[in-house]
Structure 1
Amino acid sequence: MKRRARWVAFVGPFPFPWGEAGSRRAFGLVASLAAAGHDVVVASGGPEPLTVTSLREFDGPGSVSHIGLSEAPPRGAGVVTSSIQTLVRWGRRTVRWLDAQPTRPSHVLVHGGQAQYMFHLQRWCRRNDVPLIVDVVDWYNGSYVRGGYFGPLHASMKLALHYYYPRCDGIVAISSYLESHYRRTGKPVLRVPPTLDVKNLTVQARQVTDDSSGLTLAYAGNPHGNKKDLLATVIEAVRRIEEEGVRIELRIYGPTLDEVRHLLDGRALPKGVRCLGRLPQAEVADALQEADFTVLVRRSERATEAGFSTKFCESLASGTPVIANLTSDLGKYLHHNMEGLVCRDHTLAEVTEVFRAAARLNGAQRSLMRQAARGRALESFDYRAYAEPLGEFLRQWD
């Protein structure tokens, strides 16, 4: 029997480029663990070389290193190759890597594992008496994944949610919805929202003028064909405000111009809508800071209640207030006329009315909201705030 060492294996079947939304979630958890004093090895599914790279972007007495295990299918792989890798072999390379370590980890924390991946990880952890903790961040709406509701990937996700995750030793949940759901299993659960390095995010001083200068809004993300983020509703609200003579600009980062036009079923874009394409993650904060508000409008359904928007946290961290309707746990952090403006629902009429209210705000009111947004992010979304809770959570298995 191998001796257990004081290090945590943070594993997942996908690559972890820190700029992607799911990987930014991984970054926050890894940073919190390092701040709590753990030595963390991130073993991702990406095609990185099989060498350990030290990462030094974290505060605290712990350490972080990264190794790629090539669990994910290679770029350009055909449907058959990709299907065999993701539905049959996922997890085998991670298990072989764990077996090859001179000492066992104290814990295995898995992020993003579907059914086959979890099957291999659970067998290994039980055989080696290592606690397995899963980070659950979504309820997986079939319309958002390749193959749709009846595809094998969605089936694998659902099997993981309902069978494998409840059989892990512990669960880290991104939202109150998921926390409540998994507490019914009787397993230890810790809620941790999306986190990032708020403290070291540079916030530029911005001259905030009064309402006569107009209103600048920003949207950043992927609306998933208007199924997740109701970007078409936001654009139509901009159109109505324009027709009333208000100077308004909506800057859209992410979807292409053609994708945005498709959301509108061929209708022309309002004059004030600018489609600026994808931005490198390093430039997102600066882009958000140039706006008066970011906008996030979603239907209230199980997928949106179970998840938690990373871009909401990033906006507040950038000191940019948010206009949103309250889904998931947003109501814990977004209060009307404080960190932003709250829409009572996701309807066009309500979004338009809130845009009118935003346009009427003077410079002093906007400045106070920016300060409140930044303060909320420092308190609620900085990874350092969750170092002790995560450290205490893991100590249950010492």
Structure 2
Amino acid sequence: MKKILYVGQIAIEGSASCTHVQNRARFFTNIGYNVYGLSECPKDKNDKANNTNFIKYIYMKPFPGKGKIRGACWVADQFLGFHTYNAIIKAVKDILPDIIILYELNSIVVEERIRRYCERHNIMLIIEVTEWMEVENRKEIATRGIVWQKDIQKRYIDKRCGNIIAISEFLCEHYRRQGCNVIKLPPIVYNFAENNQVLRDKNTVNLQQVRLVFAGTTDFKDYLEPLLKAIRKINNNDVKVIFDVIGPSADTIKNMIKCDNPVQYGINCHGRLSHENTLSIVKKADFSVLMRENKRYAKAGVSTKFVEAMSLAVPSICTAVGGTDAFVSDGVDGFLIKDNSVYEISGKLELIVNMDSSEILQMKLNALNKAKHVFSEDQYFEVTKLFLKGKEFHGQE
């Protein structure tokens, strides 16, 4: 069988990137490839991803030094890439891959050197792109530099490789305009709920309450404060909405709503959980939430948590920005809101809490059926097989 070498920060168990690449590896294995993943070793060895039937991990040697010295070496490598480049070349010589996929690699230097190496050794090189951040979203100098570098990659460097896997229509169209050989490949999911098992959680009070869930981070992508304030407002006299928050700390949530006891307003703070425990809470929800700004980062990406929720028959309430929300048909398999104002969100929540239980169940079933159509591997087998053989897809839909 032919071999694929995936390269990126992909081996922290339970992280979005790890889940994404593991699903990609399963997809490529089913097409007929053996998949290997080259990654930095996580600082906490307990976070190391284990090999599966679909991917075998190779870990780079640790960066030299300890503490700040090691940190400085890591930052330098995100730009100059000597450590990463040498690790890739060693893995290539050991594995002899037919295809190398660079998954959101930071260093322009590494990308250019690997491109030239692949040209000399007749190896197909693919750039997989899943995000496009604005530089101003990050405050730390080193992180701003990395985001700026990735912006340069997408504008000028990736097209030199020419072969692009884009996660969204926004990114796909960007690379089409550059004349790249590009396919749109959204997240692939394998754990779908069964249609006859789509139910509502019985722990709500006579099913009169609506259960929402958020799983993610509030660092720079997702916005919870207006939603939390809207929930506090609607639950002021009686708890109509139960909101499970996974990821942010309880203190973060308390500060957002200026309340020491969020539970009194139906807000449960779970903090960071394992991927398995997160999904166990998500599948009990009536709706997941995805609040994002109308900016490029939101248009370019497709939320892994959104896709996982939809595959578990949990429709989403999304800000309409033209990104992940493009998979939602308003009022059919989810809800779209115009903006992240407390007024707009409160109006949508009032509508939802007044829905019949049967209407919510039908919406959950609609979301599941949409996910089975859009995020299942059989939709993408043939086009991906041709793409991996070097076929041109400048106008692929």
Work out which of the residue numbers 272, 276, 282 in structure 1 matches 2:270: 276
Do the aligned residues in 1 keep the contact of 2:239 with 2:265 (CA within 8 Å)?
A: no
Give the superposition deviation at 1:212.
6.2
Tell me, what secondary structure is at the counterpart of 1:91?
A: helix
Give the match for residue 357 of structure 2: 363
Give the superposition deviation at 1:333.
2.2
1:290 aligns with 2:284: yes
Give the match for residue 366 of structure 2: 372
Give the match for residue 61 of structure 1: none
Give the match for residue 8 of structure 1: 4
Do the aligned residues in 2 keep the contact of 1:136 with 1:178 (CA within 8 Å)?
A: yes
* AA at the equivalent of 1:187: C
Give the match for residue 35 of structure 2: 40
Give the superposition deviation at 1:250.
1.2
- CA 1:42/1:194 → structure 2, altered by over 3 Å: closer, same or farther? same
1:55 aligns with 2:48: no
Give the superposition deviation at 1:175.
0.8
Give the superposition deviation at 1:368.
0.8
Give the match for residue 214 of structure 2: 219
- CA 1:139/1:387 → structure 2, altered by over 3 Å: closer, same or farther? same
**1:82-105 CA deviation, whole Å, 9 max, x = no partner?**
223322225323333245237x42
Given the two structures, how large is their TM-score scaled by the length of structure 2? 0.86
Give the match for residue 187 of structure 2: 194
* AA at the equivalent of 2:288: T
Tell me, what secondary structure is at the counterpart of 1:152?
A: helix
Give the match for residue 17 of structure 2: 22
Do the aligned residues in 2 keep the contact of 1:29 with 1:383 (CA within 8 Å)?
A: no
Tell me, what secondary structure is at the counterpart of 2:11?
A: coil
RMSD: 3.0
Work out which of the residue numbers 198, 206, 213 in structure 1 matches 2:199: 206
1:345 aligns with 2:339: yes
Aligned equivalents of 1:359 and 1:120: distance in 2?
A: 56
Aligned equivalents of 2:331 and 2:65: distance in 1?
A: 48
Work out which of the residue numbers 65, 72, 79 in structure 2 matches 1:87: 79
Give the match for residue 395 of structure 2: none
Work out which of the residue numbers 241, 247, 251 in structure 2 matches 1:258: 251
Given the two structures, how large is their TM-score scaled by the length of structure 1? 0.85
Give the superposition deviation at 1:176.
0.8
Aligned equivalents of 1:154 and 1:329: distance in 2?
A: 19
Give the superposition deviation at 1:151.
3.5
Work out which of the residue numbers 93, 97, 102 in structure 2 matches 1:110: 102
Give the superposition deviation at 1:347.
2.0
**1:48-103 CA deviation, whole Å, 9 max, x = no partner?**
8xxx97521x5xxxxx322222477888554422223322225323333245237x
**1:265-296 CA deviation, whole Å, 9 max, x = no partner?**
77874622121111110122210121111111
1:237 aligns with 2:230: yes
Give the superposition deviation at 1:374.
1.4
Give the superposition deviation at 1:165.
1.2
Aligned equivalents of 2:17 and 2:137: distance in 1?
A: 14
**1:10-49 CA deviation, whole Å, 9 max, x = no partner?**
222x24235111222212222211111112222223368x
* AA at the equivalent of 1:45: E
1:69 aligns with 2:63: no
Query: More displaced, 275-284 or 260-269?
Result: 260-269
Give the superposition deviation at 1:298.
1.2
Aligned equivalents of 2:249 and 2:391: distance in 1?
A: 48
**1:230-277 CA deviation, whole Å, 9 max, x = no partner?**
200110110221236452221110010112234447787462212111
Tell me, what secondary structure is at the counterpart of 2:278?
A: helix
Aligned equivalents of 1:229 and 1:54: distance in 2?
A: 31
- CA 1:77/1:375 → structure 2, altered by over 3 Å: closer, same or farther? farther
* AA at the equivalent of 2:305: K
Structure 1 residues without counterparts, runs of 5 or longer? 59-63
Tell me, what secondary structure is at the counterpart of 1:183?
A: helix
- CA 1:74/1:298 → structure 2, altered by over 3 Å: closer, same or farther? farther
- CA 1:292/1:151 → structure 2, altered by over 3 Å: closer, same or farther? closer
Give the match for residue 316 of structure 1: 310
Structure 2 residues without counterparts, runs of 5 or longer? 393-397
